[in-house]
Amino acid sequence: MEPEKIKQQLMEASQGLLMMSETDAPFEFYYHEKPKEEEFTGEIMVEWDGKPSGTRVQELALEDFLNRMINPHAEADQAAKEAAPRFKHLLQKLNELLQNPKAYKISDVNMPVYLIGKTPAGDYAGLKTLVVET
């Protein structure tokens, strides 16, 4: 599948959704040609994000990262409860379009988060957002 088609489908699935944290951030499309290295690692993601080598990166299963949005607490506000099915759809779309998609949280407080996986062509694509944790 062409990157533009992946972009279109992911942007449709994420339209209007905000990543819930101490700041609610939108999603944007992310694409990068396949790395020279054989195996994709979190360190490659750090490099692609422009952070210095050795910056902390946490690799998570998409289901674990999106769990709070897909299964909001009973005390969650109505907007979070209404967004849950849309986050489930987004998770399904990421798994449908990409091979082995994962979440990569980079840094400590203001964390860029990449929800990416391998495209059929061997490149990497997905969504980028921001999570603020203090």
> Measured at the alpha carbon of residue 111, what is the angle toward residues 110 and 113, in degrees to the nearest 5?
150
Per-residue pLDDT of the chain (134 residues; tens, 9 = 90+): 788 999 999 999 999 999 988 888 999 999 999 888 778 899 999 999 999 989 999 999 999 999 999 998 888 888 889 999 999 999 999 999 999 999 999 986 688 999 999 999 999 999 999 998 76
Q: Report the amino acid identity of residue 98.
A: L
* 55 vs 129: CA distance, rounded Å: 18
Per-residue model confidence (pLDDT) at position 134? 66
* Residue from 90, 98, 95 nearest 122 by CA: 98
Q: What is the secondary structure of 65-90 as a DSSP string?
A: HHHHHHS--TTS-HHHHHHHHHHHHH
Supply the pTM of this predicted model: 0.89
